[in-house]
């Protein structure tokens, strides 16, 4: 973070955090949430929690620097619960020392072991699949593998966001876990050779590029499809979504790579009992259902059905690889992206 940006960010965030500390550090009926998830996405969920328990929630939303902020606040931090997305960001919170282990029989019963830290420092709440967006018009096949993305038949036809983005790193890290670093490097070179342009933009931009005919397939997270399909304020996004179909890679073998939105108990949580109650609510049938419907993701608890919008994309067979194993390979994945010059595009 640049120094000027950081100062501006702290100037905005510090007063709110101070207010949280002053009003809630010793409050019996409050839980303070530090979130990378936008407030409008989680508000219905938190409102339901308050209705059930009477415990009010305060939310501090940050688009970057959440772990650093809690670390800077130290023992005086009002943070109780951390909400974020991607195993990389959850692991970053643990590595920064701003989480504490939690042993909850309720949470461990509801959340499968592959979606939680073995030591209880973080827990998945919902999953999102890293899938292939494919042009309905130009791509006839309805099945694909990640390995196939390196096939020369896709030369000039693939779009994706930066190789160093956390979503891409997670996928590459999973490829290393399955196939080893050497084979993954060769695969990444092949995918790079098949790119239609330099990696750029977000996942919705990749769907837009398919709609515009710039590429035929792209990597993207499932929940962006739901966001585009329901984008009332930006109806052009509905056109992008209508131009693509969702292909679940490796559905016929190991399953599709999934990542998580997750939660962690903050290290110095002043309202720890309330924080645990919120986390147990998020892991419950009701919490899983509400969260999944709101953010177009898949509940992690087996047996809970995804929303009708999500179900319409097809059946997800998730890769059972523990996310902790993916986290171990993130550094190696990032190094491979630089080594093959992935973000330089196909001509480099």
* 122 and 132 together in one domain: no
Which residues of the chain carry a pLDDT beneath 70? Answer: 1-28, 348
- 137 and 250 housed in the same domain: yes
- Asked, for residue 12, whether it belongs to a domain, the answer is yes
> What's the confidence (pLDDT) of residue 49?
97
Q: Would residue 317 count as lying in a domain?
A: no
DSSP reduced 3-state for 57: strand
Strand partners, 58: 32
Give the pLDDT score at 348. Answer: 65
- pLDDT tens-digit map of 115-146: 999 999 999 999 999 999 999 999 999 999 99
pLDDT, residue 347, reads: 83
> How far apart (Å, rounded) are the C-alpha atoms in residues 185 and 198?
18
- On whether residue 300 sits in a domain, the answer given is yes
144 and 265 belong to one structural domain:
no
Same domain, 333 and 201: yes
Please report whether residue 278 resides in a domain: yes
CATH of the domain at 280: 3.40.190.10
pLDDT value of position 23: 42
pLDDT for residue 4: 33
Q: Is the dihedral of CA 291, 294, 300, 302 positive or negative?
A: positive
Residue 118 sits in the same domain as residue 197: no
CA distances from 298 to 114, 165, 277 (A): 15, 22, 22
Residue in the block written with tokens 């939105």: 261
Domain assignment of residue 309, yes or no: no
Domain count, the chain: 2
| Residue written as token pair 């933009």 | 201
Q: How far is CA 197 from the centre of its chain?
A: 24
Q: What is the pLDDT of residue 78?
A: 97
Same domain, residue pair 249 and 167: yes
- 332 plus 188 within the same structural domain: yes
Asked whether residue 291 falls in the same domain as residue 340, the answer is no
Domain extent, residue 74, equals 3-127+261-304
Residues 6 or more apart in contact with residue 110 via CB below 8 angstroms:
283, 284, 285, 288, 300, 301
* Closest-CA residue to 46 (of 301, 268, 272, 291): 291
What pLDDT digit, counting tens, does each position of 4-41 carry? 333 333 333 444 444 444 444 444 699 999 999 888 88
The answer to whether residues 208 and 332 belong to one domain is yes
On whether both 62 and 159 belong to a single domain, the answer is no
Residue 251 lies in a domain: yes
Residue in 119, 51, 41 with CA at minimum distance from that of residue 85: 41
Alpha carbon distance 161, 164 (integer Å) = 9
Rounded Cα distance between 121 and 142, Å, is 38
Residue 14: the pLDDT is 43
* 314 located within any domain: no
Instruction: Look at residue 12 in the predicted model and tell me its pLDDT.
Output: 38
Q: Please indicate, yes or no, if residue 77 is contained in any of the structural domains.
A: yes
Do residues 48 and 85 both lie within one domain?
Answer: yes
Whether 19 and 122 map to the same domain: the answer is: yes
């Amino acid at each position: 973070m640049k120094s000027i940006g950081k100062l501006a960010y702290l100037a905005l965030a510090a007063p709110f955090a101070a207010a949280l500390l002053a009003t809630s550090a010793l409050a019996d009926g409050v839980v303070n949430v530090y979130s990378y998830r936008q407030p409008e996405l989680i508000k219905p969920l938190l409102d339901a929690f308050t209705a059930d328990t009477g415990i009010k929630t305060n939310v501090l939303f940050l688009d970057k620097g959440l772990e650093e902020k809690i670390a800077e606040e130290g023992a005086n931090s009002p943070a109780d619960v951390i909400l974020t997305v991607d195993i990389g960001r959850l692991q970053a919170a643990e590595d920064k020392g701003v989480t504490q282990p939690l042993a909850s029989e309720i949470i461990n019963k509801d959340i499968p072991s592959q979606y939680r830290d073995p030591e209880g420092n973080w827990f998945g709440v919902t999953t999102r699949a890293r899938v292939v967006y494919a042009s309905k018009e130009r791509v006839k096949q309805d099945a694909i593998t990640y390995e196939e993305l390196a096939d020369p038949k896709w030369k000039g036809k693939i779009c994706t966001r930066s190789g160093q983005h956390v979503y891409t790193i997670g996928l590459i890290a999973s490829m290393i876990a399955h196939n080893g670093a050497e084979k993954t490097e060769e695969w990444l070179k092949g995918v790079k050779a098949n790119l239609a342009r330099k990696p750029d933009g977000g996942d919705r931009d990749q769907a837009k590029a398919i709609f515009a005919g710039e590429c035929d397939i792209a990597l993207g997270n499932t929940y962006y499809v739901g966001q585009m399909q329901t984008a009332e304020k930006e109806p052009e996004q509905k056109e992008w979504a209508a131009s693509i179909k969702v292909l679940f890679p490796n559905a016929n073998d190991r399953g599709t790579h999934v990542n998580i939105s997750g939660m962690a108990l903050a290290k110095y949580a002043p309202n720890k009992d309330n924080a645990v109650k919120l986390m147990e609510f998020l892991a419950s049938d009701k919490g899983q259902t509400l969260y999944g419907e709101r953010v177009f993701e898949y509940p992690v608890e087996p047996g809970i059905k995804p929303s009708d919008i999500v179900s319409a994309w097809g059946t997800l067979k998730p890769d059972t690889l523990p996310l902790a194993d993916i986290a171990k390979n993130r550094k190696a994945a990032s190094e491979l992206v630089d080594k093959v010059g992935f973000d330089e595009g196909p001509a480099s």
